[in-house]
Amino acid sequence: MPPVPPWLKKLGSTLVTVAVTILGLLFVTFMIGRVMPIDPVLAVIGERATQEQYNEVFYDLGLDKPLIVQFAIYVANVLQGDFGTSIRTGQQVSDDIARVFPATLELATLGTLIGVFLGVPLGVLAAVRRGSWIDQLARFVGLIGYSMPIFWLGLVGLLLFYGILNWVSGPGRVGIFYQGIVEPITGMLLVDSTLRGEWEVFRDAFSHIILPASLLGYYSLAYISRMTRSFMLEQLNSEYIITARVKGLSERKVIWHHAFRNIRIQLITVIALAYANLLEGSVLTEIIFAWPGIGQYITVSLLANDMNAVLGGTIVIGTIFVCLNIFSDLLYRFFDPRSK
């Protein structure tokens, strides 16, 4: 029997890791749904239902079966994309998530882009000018980003840039006048308005998204700039950098063609984690800015005791987080020959 190729072993190991992690996520969400002090039957039929109706739904939901059988049914339904029906909207949770998730994806993507394009150069400059005012500024920016509550910065941002200066539009995704003009293609309004050529809608949507995206981008910037600075300092203190300078290479070439090139692989993981954190951690931002994304959907559903919607949204966000981590690990192995 021929030996199994190393890449095939790693692929199999990765798939097993993903399967076990997602199965663990499903088990946690299943148990949360069972230990919550909410009767799933009454949540479906209401408190005025008769005993016969209660018993019928009780058996239809499989609640009479052993817990392990209930979990197996739960996993089978989730794998088919069936998260149940939302009590609040009366629609399939999967349909609700497909409707609201693009808004979160658009917000988190723009926030990550802001964090990357500002955080990486700031971290590099802070490492190159270690101890200078630029370095102190980068560290101060990172400190504020880690310590300030996001809801406080959001409220201050709305008061200053919307209420006082009127530089941006207020809460919401788009003005009332422009709602329903663009027929969804991807669900991301900036992309769809561009594809449809609706530039007025694009400008209005951008005016609404720029403030919450900048807020998320600031938190992403704080993390990315800090990690970039740390990676660059490690490289700049290496012997090969000293050798390159002794050979007479320009400082720009030493920094960007040698030191920065060697941290790009590490930055892939950092950026992927930052992106995943914005996707799952934008709940408060969406609430403050009335952003109709999955974070607001889960929060409103939780307040309405709509556990199917809460658990469905949690599974989707958790799965995306796991997949982004695995994807960054695969990119790391692809770009770094030493990890193969």
Token code pair at residue 297: 């959907």
What pLDDT is recorded for position 322?
82
Query: At which of 79, 110, 126 does a domain end?
Result: 79
Token code pair at residue 110: 């723009």
Do the beta carbons of residue 326 and residue 247 sit within 8 Å? no
Q: Are residues 71 and 101 in the same domain?
A: no
> To which residue do tokens 């009127």 refer?
166
Do the beta carbons of residue 218 and residue 145 sit within 8 Å? yes
> Is 1 within the bounds of a domain?
no
User: What integer best gives the mean pLDDT of the chain?
Assistant: 84
> Is 86 within the bounds of a domain?
no
Q: Are residues 172 and 209 in the same domain?
A: yes
Q: Are residues 29 and 56 in the same domain?
A: yes
Contacts of 165 (CB under 8 A, 6+ apart): none
Q: Are residues 114 and 215 in the same domain?
A: yes
Q: Are residues 138 and 251 in the same domain?
A: yes
Give, for 305, the enclosing helix (H) or strand (E). Answer: none
What pLDDT is recorded for position 119?
92
Q: Are residues 58 and 115 in the same domain?
A: no
Q: Are residues 137 and 35 in the same domain?
A: no
Give, for 187, the enclosing helix (H) or strand (E). Answer: none
Burial class (CB in 10 A: 0-12, 13-18, 19+), 251: exposed
Q: Are residues 228 and 328 in the same domain?
A: yes
**In which domain, by residue range, is 330 found?**
94-339
Q: Are residues 102 and 243 in the same domain?
A: yes
Q: Are residues 110 and 55 in the same domain?
A: no
Q: What is the pLDDT of residues 130-161, one digit of tens each?
A: 888 888 988 888 888 878 888 888 889 999 99
What pLDDT is recorded for position 11?
66
> Is 89 within the bounds of a domain?
no
Q: Which residues in the chain land under pLDDT 70? A: 1-9, 11, 37, 42-44, 46-47, 333-340
Give, for 289, the enclosing helix (H) or strand (E). Answer: none
Q: What angle do CA 138, 113, 173 make, to 5 degrees?
A: 115
> Is 88 within the bounds of a domain?
no
The pTM score is 0.85
What pLDDT is recorded for position 336?
61
Query: At which of 79, 104, 121 does a domain end?
Result: 79
> To which residue do tokens 């199965």 refer?
23
What pLDDT is recorded for position 238?
84
What pLDDT is recorded for position 308?
83
DSSP per residue, 152-172: HHHHHHIIIIIIIS--S--SS
Do the beta carbons of residue 276 and residue 112 sit within 8 Å? no
What pLDDT is recorded for position 43?
66
What pLDDT is recorded for position 259?
87
> Is 157 within the bounds of a domain?
yes
Burial class (CB in 10 A: 0-12, 13-18, 19+), 19: exposed
Give, for 226, the enclosing helix (H) or strand (E). Answer: helix 199-236
Query: How many structural domains are present in the chain?
Result: 2
Backbone angles phi, psi at 223, to 5 degrees: -75, -45
197: domain CATH number is 1.10.3720.10
Q: Are residues 285 and 324 in the same domain?
A: yes
Query: At which of 79, 110, 134 does a domain end?
Result: 79
What pLDDT is recorded for position 2?
63
Backbone conformation region of residue 120, classed left if phi is above 0, alpha if psi is from -120 to 50, else beta: alpha
CA nearest neighbour of 91 among 337, 263, 333, 312: 312
Burial class (CB in 10 A: 0-12, 13-18, 19+), 133: exposed
Q: Are residues 120 and 52 in the same domain?
A: no
DSSP per residue, 74-107: HHHHHHTT---B-TTTSSBHHHHHHHHHHHHHHH
Residues 230, 233, 239, 241, Cα dihedral to 10°: 120
What pLDDT is recorded for position 104?
93
The span from the CA of 103 to the CA of 154, in Å, is: 18
Backbone angles phi, psi at 92, to 5 degrees: -65, 135
> Is 87 within the bounds of a domain?
no
The span from the CA of 172 to the CA of 328, in Å, is: 32
> Is 85 within the bounds of a domain?
no
Do the beta carbons of residue 274 and residue 112 sit within 8 Å? yes
> Is 252 within the bounds of a domain?
yes
